[in-house]
Amino acid sequence: MNAAQKATNIEVASKIAAVVNLFKSKFPDAKADLKPWQNDVDTRELVDPDSIDIGFHFPGWSRRFQCRSILVQIRFYEDPVDAYRRLIGIETDGFNHQGLAWRLSTVENWSLVGDSQPVPEVGEKLKHFCRQVFELFNG
């Protein structure tokens, strides 16, 4: 779900701002997009209501990143009985003019997959960013 829609209280809004700052501290050229999803019927069917989704866009296509935009989806598990919420994974997808170029998911083995992967230094920075997001939400 768009991060802008999830910022319903000061605690969540502060954590979203912290995620943006963490990303920009590693990749200062990126511009944050708190509404990466369009608000139409087809898109709403695909959106995970238990995630916070933030887009990051670069000024142009980057050879180091092998993409122009990155979608960060921070996924949560919410127990409705105990009102317990925990971050369970982060999916980071890089997009170029052909669509999805690569993916980094923390759900399995934290490896980058895809036809056009970023350089190893960028991959390591992305993994470090993900570890910091886990610390922020699950501290």
Count of CB atoms situated within 10 Å of the CB of 115:
10
Per-residue DSSP letters for 25-83?
Answer: HH-TT-EEES--S--SHHHHHH--TTEEEEEEEEEEEETTTTEEEEEEEEEEEEETTTT
How do residues 103-127 score in pLDDT, each as one tens digit? 999 988 899 999 899 999 999 999 9
- Residue extents of the structural domains in the chain: 3-138
How do residues 6-48 score in pLDDT, each as one tens digit? 777 898 889 999 999 999 999 999 999 988 766 655 555 556 7
List the structure tokens of 49: 């209501």
Q: What is the pTM of this model?
A: 0.88
Count of CB atoms situated within 10 Å of the CB of 25:
11
